[in-house]
Structure 1
């Protein structure tokens, strides 16, 4: 649900996010055990603290005790006023929900997007384990439930959020300082390899098939 913004400065936009997310989660009860991934939103000038509190309030309203779906906050690239550009911001959301509605805490987690997290400034090219160590320290590795596996059109710390096909961007291409070893490290990492991986590259069906074959061939 990329169009939702639960921390918008516009009241109607926040209401729409709340209504739609609540409806989505109710519908997902028919498909137990799934993940519901969303972009936390953009505070559009209100400040990150205000945005985080709005997201917490929305989650506490749309989630419910006993739900069978786990809600995932996506790591963001940090373009504009996006919330979730750092592990600390994601942790603040999770901690806010846990404090306000502790019964919902175990149904809240994180999806790590490789393009986003690199664009946000985390060096997964040279220090993937160090980045995961930091995630574990700040958020808790037990909160990490899924990976969006993407290359990036921009270098680490660019805050751009432009996905690229595997092997053609700054993560997977040696000319840009990355390489296939980077992708191999991601898909083979002991803390990631058992998680679901979702491909979100700018490709067509045949290209996706080739990328999936490539990524599977790299996994050790």
Structure 2
């Protein structure tokens, strides 16, 4: 990818390497303050969102350019030259919203349509109990990178599905969890990878992604899924 080559899809999202470099330089300029606060500033993350960097791998249906993984990683490397913590978040948000594309279409539209940042912790630490058609989720998860500026979070738990218990990712809004500001490390301090907790949060069945099934089939448990809507690099 050349210095001025745009990444684009039907003019919905156009990003240049120079644009990414400018954002990375802004992150580098505030790194001392970001390390004191254990997170980047709201202004820097607002710029990240406004420029649409988090949508780089998003499916076409939802306004993403579905960028090739190799091109995406070149941009991550550009950011990493200036700040490893900024590069971690630059990569993290696009990669970690990918699972939402495996939910039913109405839930994809809810999550992607909100245009919020998505984070997750896959480790199945949550306590899950059946509640009517849905489930109740409680627990504590560590290392929720980028959670301070996110709107959605997927949390891992073993869910008693009709076909048997299975590790799943359960999608809820970030304002439904308590963020425990305990991220105090030497490395990647600015990523804000804090602990999160929730207690008895209701999760609808169509906001649950069965991980083993999805990994083995490449398809979610829904009848309205279009394989072409898979994120970049995940098409068959």
Tell which has more relative contact order, 1 or 2 (C-alpha 8 A, sep 6+): 2
Please state which band the TM-score falls in when normalised by the shorter chain. Answer: 0.3 to 0.5
Which protein is richer in strand relative to its size? 2
Taking structure 1 as the reference length, what is the TM-score of the superposition? Answer: 0.36
